Structure 1
Amino acid sequence: MSEAKILIVEDEAVTGMDIRKSLVEMGYSVVAVATTGELAVRKAAELHPDLILMDIMLAGRMNGIEAADKIRRHCHIPVVYLTAYSDDSFLAKAKLTEPFGYILKPFRELELKTTIEMALYKYAMEHALRISEETTRVILDATDDFLFLIDPRGKFLAVNQALAKKAGRDVRDFIGTDIARLVTQGILSSRMAAWNLNTNQKEPVRFQEEFHNRWFDAAIYPVTSPEGDVVLFAISIRDITAQKTLEEQSRQNEEFFRSLIEDTSDVIAVLDRDGTLRHESPSITRYLGYDPECIVGKPFSVILTEESLPVFRQVLEEVLTTPGMVRAVNLPVKCEDGSPRILEGIISNLYGNPVIDGIVVNGWVKK
């Protein structure tokens, strides 16, 4: 990463200048040389370098390890230690600050450049991973569905806010706990908790289930390792109660509508917006000879004569513009045997009507 900005933290002026000269020759940009830990923390916050070369023993009250720890927690800038100290006690303390490298003085320029490049690359990869993880978290929390990961033993690896809110717990409190707790609390069914699955289950499982007077759509996705072993299950659970209620209401409405038109003497047809027949009353058989089951799904124009098509299309276009609009019609139609008839009645826009929700043609047939 040429042109990377580097902050040098070194209390020996001559050593600091030598390191600066080497870095510039390598193609890096040195933003500053700090001589104390306190100055290093301040310069890191002000200059936002890409990397910090940190000596451990510094002038002032704060050593390099303490400075690196503050920089890690507040600025998230990668630190490489550059020091003459190799004592185990220093190494143990330095590890706690999660450095991206540790170089002992005296060093070779090739060793310094290699360590810097590796540190910058590692930091870039970790930064990209953090962004990816944060993006995933935001996406997971953007839905009201329950989304979570469990291992094959039923231990939580991750959950989203929707499930945590339902359980009255913090997201972090779930990690490592058993999903059985949510089953005993009545938040999930045993099937939703994947109790009926094992590590041999490698195909996704999807099902709908009624649970505590609500309907849920659940999907369980096994995640396998490169060796082909199931290492975790990704589970998605959506509350579809409203959808189920609408489906049931629609079914009841359709049955109610069918009962209304079953015995009527008028010809009643329900059309979609494009003029396709959705329902047809049995009376069409008596007046025109068509079997309702044979013409449903076809254009209403199958019963119209050529001369009536433009009139029908114009009226249909007009009523579609306004819900509730009604237009009178007098349409030449043809019987199944081709003989002419006249359909006299009305066309109504009943979209939005909970029973019909379509275009209705209602009339009687004359010779």
Structure 2
Amino acid sequence: MSSEKKTKVLIVEDESIVAKDIQNILLKNNFEVLGVANNAETTLNYISQEVPDVILMDIMIKGNINGIELSHKIKEEYDIPIIFLTAYSDTPTLEKAKVVEPYAYINKPFKNADILSAIEISLFRHKKDLERKKEKELLYSIVEKQSKDTSTDIIFVKSGGKMVKIKYEDIYIVEALKDYVTFHTTHGRYIVHATMKFIEEKLGYQNFIRAHRSFIVRIDKIQSIENQELVLENFPKRIPIGGNYKDEIYKRLNLL
């Protein structure tokens, strides 16, 4: 029976005592330590030999490149979750660190649990990020293929572990919610990770119209306009008309 694969961690820390403490914590908890580096050159050499699952990165390291700048260089070539370690929690340092979008931020001095929980959460977040990225790429590829076939007015979305076909004619509205959009259709709701701009372009402008920054509506589902809201046929929710979209809606609906 094969043993469980160990998580590979690269430690980038210029304080040897701190680096040794972290290494001991990881080894005692069944992690594999790929190495300990204290500067940018050594770090990049380690990564070129074997890509770690996660990097524990001290912000202040030896050499002309600090941990934040090194993280920028790493992200240009690799998709590795980075956790910052630092004794500095001042606002300017935090603002610079945020640009790199680290998966976690650990202040020194730290406890064993701080290291372990940060790694666990970062790996989980990274896994979910990869899943969302794959879903988006799959959706984009399907829609891109459909856009080349003008006779096919359908879109596929992921639901319950499978790809579900939605006919354009069955869509009432598309609703935005942060980084996701919800397709409200005659046979259910489907949530996908995509932008409204992307969906608007792929649905086309002939049968759909942007009514609000958060809503795209199928034109032939509109029954009436009441109090600056769109009333749709057999759809309970009223859709607000955004000020920036009012003129275009009235024009498209041939309002007299």
TM category, shorter: 0.5 to 0.7
Name the aligned partner's letter for residue 122 of structure 2. Answer: A
CA distance change for structure 1 residues 195 and 3 in 2, over 3 Å: closer, same or farther? Answer: same
State whether structure 2 residue 219 is matched by structure 1 residue 195: yes
State whether structure 2 residue 197 is matched by structure 1 residue 175: yes
Once the two structures are TM-superposed, the CA of residue 2 in structure 1 deviates from its matched residue by 7.0
Q: How many angstroms apart in 2 are the aligned matches of 1:131 and 1:176?
A: 16
For 2:103, the equivalent position in structure 1 comes to 100
Matched pairs, number: 184
State whether structure 2 residue 145 is matched by structure 1 residue 142: yes
Q: TM-score, normalised by structure 1?
A: 0.44
Q: How many angstroms apart in 2 are the aligned matches of 1:90 and 1:99?
A: 13
Q: Deviations over 1:113-136 (max 9, x none)?
A: 111101111111111111111111
Q: How many angstroms apart in 2 are the aligned matches of 1:137 and 1:178?
A: 13
For 1:26, the equivalent position in structure 2 comes to 29
Q: How many angstroms apart in 2 are the aligned matches of 1:25 and 1:152?
A: 48
Bigger CA radius of gyration = 1
State whether structure 2 residue 58 is matched by structure 1 residue 61: no
Q: TM-score, normalised by structure 2?
A: 0.61
Q: Deviations over 1:237-294 (max 9, x none)?
A: xxxxxxxxxxxxxxxxxxxxxxxxxxxxxxxxxxxxxxxxxxxxxxxxxxxxxxxxxx
CA distance change for structure 1 residues 152 and 17 in 2, over 3 Å: closer, same or farther? Answer: closer
For 1:118, the equivalent position in structure 2 comes to 121
Is the partner of 1:106 in helix, strand or coil? coil
Name the aligned partner's letter for residue 195 of structure 1. Answer: I
Percent identity between the two aligned chains: 30
Contact 1:45 1:75 in 2 (8 A): no
Q: How many angstroms apart in 2 are the aligned matches of 1:141 and 1:27?
A: 44
For 2:42, the equivalent position in structure 1 comes to 39
Question: Unaligned stretches of 5+ in structure 2?
Answer: 156-167, 182-195, 210-217, 223-229, 241-256
CA distance change for structure 1 residues 33 and 175 in 2, over 3 Å: closer, same or farther? Answer: same
Is the partner of 1:93 in helix, strand or coil? helix
Is the partner of 2:219 in helix, strand or coil? coil
CA distance change for structure 1 residues 178 and 25 in 2, over 3 Å: closer, same or farther? Answer: closer
Contact 1:80 1:99 in 2 (8 A): yes
Q: How many angstroms apart in 1 are the aligned matches of 2:71 and 2:95?
A: 14
Once the two structures are TM-superposed, the CA of residue 79 in structure 1 deviates from its matched residue by 0.3
Once the two structures are TM-superposed, the CA of residue 54 in structure 1 deviates from its matched residue by 0.2
Question: Unaligned stretches of 5+ in structure 1?
Answer: 159-173, 204-221, 232-367
Q: Deviations over 1:309-364 (max 9, x none)?
A: xxxxxxxxxxxxxxxxxxxxxxxxxxxxxxxxxxxxxxxxxxxxxxxxxxxxxxxx
**4+ residue segments displaced more than 6 Å:** 147-150, 176-179, 228-231
Q: How many angstroms apart in 2 are the aligned matches of 1:27 and 1:177?
A: 45
